[in-house]
Amino acid sequence: MVPLSYYLVLSGILFACGVAGFLIKRNIITIFMSIELMLNGVNLSFVAFAAHWKVLAGQIFVFFILVVAAAEAAVGLAIIIAIYRTRETLNVDQVNLLKL
Amino acid sequence: MTQNPYLWLIPVLPLAGAAINGFMGHKSSKKAVTTVALVFPGLAFALALKIALGFSSAAAPYVFDLAHWIRSGTFSVDFAFYVDQLSLVMLLVVTGVGFLIHIYSVGYMADDPSYYRFFSYLNLFMFFMLTLILANNYLMMFVGWEGVGLASYLLIGFWFTKDSAASAGKKAFIVNRIGDFGFLIGLFLIIQHFGSLNFTEVFSKVQPLAVESGGAGLLTAIGILLMVGACGKSAQIPLYVWLPDAMEGPTPVSALIHAATMVTAGVYMVARSHVIFERAPVALTVVAVIGTLTAFFAATIGIAQTDIKKVLAYSTVSQLGYMFMACGAGAFSAGIFHLMTHAFFKGLLFLGAGSVIHAVGGEQDMRKMGGLRSYIPWTALTMGIATLAISGIPPFAGFWSKDEILWKAYQANWVYWIIGLVTAFITSFYMFRLLFMTFAGEYRGAHVDSHGQAHSTHGHDGHGHGDPHESPPVMLVPLVTLALLSTIGGLVAIGNHFEHFLNPVFGSAVQDALETDNHGTELLLMVVSVLVALFGAVLAWVLYVSKPYLPQKIAASLGAFYDTVANKYYVDEIYAKVFVKPLVDASTTILWQGVDRKVIDDTVNNAADGARHVSDEVRHMQSGNLRSYAGWIASGAAIVIAYMIWRGVGQ
């Protein structure tokens, strides 16, 4: 059996990769993917704990997060398309005004 | 005590007139303005007459409770009206003389572009004056008191584009504030000690108190403070300085407000508070001394004035002094009697002066008048009657009231009588001087070559046209009416009718008993005062008619003294130096530059500046850059997590 700490370390690495990608990347799609990475890093730690402590709550949380992430992906991608149509760029540094 | 449900209408009618003319006057025709301006005070006068005709001393006082005003614990003040013999006299004088002056103003102000504004103010004045008179408590009286001050301010500064008029208005208002301060403190004392401002309640609580001996009692304090208020409103030493300047207003205003009615409010207030004053001999002495000094002092200034309205203004101050002298001598009814006759003849004198000014095209300097008798005979005749009345020549009104005052003053203290007598002489002298300078001799004003070409247009009435000309009938009717009243108005005093009428208010004074014994003395004093008045008149005739070169010689030989008198004893200059300048300087340097700019302005500005500087720095965090926000979140989260790890979770 793989010890809990392995999962947690992997989860931390995934989360850190997501954060780093979020901070470094300029392409909004990449940033979006980094967010997903962070979410999944968290998911991993949830299921790891759930399995370890034999409590179902963690796994149910993961389902919720998946659902929210899916919804977020739908809305987020729609926004990205709208932004691309008006600004013709996906570089977040050029999308720093709240108004057009 | 009788209910009279129409009482409230008397003040409210002129208010309605003021509102209608004030709000709609600028777009209604002159005829409509005139109608409104005359009908409403006229109705008030009619109502007052109706009350007077149905007045019975047994049923008095007539009261009407309109509404509650202030309820606080046991203290309460109502909008309530109250007519007893005293207020009835005032009511008739104010509505009657006021109505006449309204009629006169129709002619006098006919060419003024702000015709409607004038009548709106004038009606407003009537409203406040009637509130003052009809109030059943000190607070409502105070409202009227302040209101007439406001109306007076508005009307003095009626020609506000003229700098002198604007500042005269301010002066009147500010000087009156000083008096009102005393009045207010007096009211506070009354509230504190008697728990009410209602006349009936206060007086019934004062009644049982003993006469304060040795001074320095509560009633003395209240009396003196009330007198301070009266000094302001009724232009007594030391607060009289505003009244002569108030002559900047249109002449009907001088007649109505600054001679006949408003300035007598102080006398009315002192007479109304007679219960308090009677128990405070020191306060009474203060009233008498101030009145006597003012009467004498103002009269002497009147001798050397050359502006026709200024002479009358100082004369008013002096006559008001007489009224206070009477009140101070405990003869309140004599004071009120003089108030009434003075309203007749001084109102008439001012209206006559207005007619003269109208005739000579705005000129007010008597040195440029003279010989007007043949040009404006009606004005000359009526002013002659008024002069006889104010000088105290029988059987004209002023004789009866002035004599009554001098007699009562004599009984109180012969010093008052002596000064009063000298003042009567001076009064007679300067009034006949005015009369002769204006109407006798040759016309000294600039004649005009062609009709319509004004000789002097510096005056505000500014319609110089041709030779002096008589005023229109609308101005003459009030003159003649007032002349009639000045002639016969004093006859009500025969057999002491007037005094007996007021007795229920003032209480039948001890003097009644004295009177019977002293008829001889009274008659003697009467003869003396008439002789003195005649002497003044003759002296004026000698100096200004038969030997007109003499006055200049006398003035020259008196030198510095004459200059001092002609310059009103430099009182204005002294006040300016002693009170006004330090106040202005202190206000400018300490309050304005120091407190206002340095403290208040700087505090506000520094707070704003500080906020801006801080924001300038802080706003760099809000760059709008998505990744920098994410960085903030990440580092923040990192710090929190680091802290939790360092402290240990869950401990």
* pLDDT tens digits, B385-423: 999 999 988 889 989 999 889 988 988 888 999 999 999
Reply yes or no on whether the pLDDT at B456 is more than 70: no
Phi, psi (5° rounding) for residue A98? -75, -25
Give yes or no for residue B603 having a pLDDT over 90: yes
Give CA–CA dist B189/B278, Å, rounded: 17
pLDDT confidence of residue A1:
77
% of chain A beyond a pLDDT of 90? 67
Q: What is the C-alpha separation between B461 and B357, in angstroms, rounded? A: 8
* B-chain residues near A15 (CB < 8 A): none
pTM for the full predicted model: 0.79
B634·A31 Cβ contact <8 A: no
Q: Which of residues 618-647 of B touch A (CB under 8 A)?
A: 623-627, 630-631, 634
- Please tell me the distance from the alpha carbon of residue B118 to that of residue B140, in angstroms, as a whole number: 25
At residue B509 the predicted structure's pLDDT band, cuts being 50, 70 and 90, is low
Residue % of chain B over a pLDDT of 90: 52
What is the C-alpha separation between B174 and B177, in angstroms, rounded? Answer: 5
Number of helical (H) and strand (E) elements in chain A, helices listed first: 3, 0
Radius of gyration of chain A (CA): 17
Q: Do A97 and B624 touch (CB under 8 A)?
A: yes
How confident is the model at residue B493, as a pLDDT? 81
Average pLDDT value over all residues in chain A: 90
CA nearest B179: which of B132, B227, B137? Answer: B227
**Mean pLDDT, rounded, of chain B:** 87
Question: What is the C-alpha separation between B361 and B344, in angstroms, rounded?
Answer: 25
pLDDT of residue B565: 81
Under 8 Å CB-to-CB from B90, ≥6 apart: which residues?
B133, B264, B268, B336, B339
Does residue B459 register a pLDDT over 70?
Answer: no
Q: Has residue B458 got a pLDDT over 60?
A: no
Token output for B467: 């030779």
Span B496-514, mean pLDDT?
Answer: 70
- Summarize pLDDT for B364-382 with one digit per residue, the tens: 888 888 888 888 889 999 9
Lowest mean pLDDT among B135-149, B222-236, B366-380: B366-380
User: How do residues B77-132 score in pLDDT, each as one tens digit?
Assistant: 999 999 989 999 999 999 999 999 999 999 999 888 889 999 999 999 999 999 99
Q: How far apart are the CA of B648 and the nearest CA of chain A, in angstroms?
A: 18
Residue B172 has pLDDT above 80, yes or no: yes
Interface-testing mutation among A27, A29, A96, with chain B (most B C-beta atoms within 10 A): A96
ipTM value:
0.74
Question: Average pLDDT of B607-624?
Answer: 88
The whole-angstrom distance between B624's CA and the closest CA on chain A is 5
d(C-alpha B429, C-alpha B622), whole Å: 88
Q: Is the pLDDT of residue B140 over 80?
A: yes
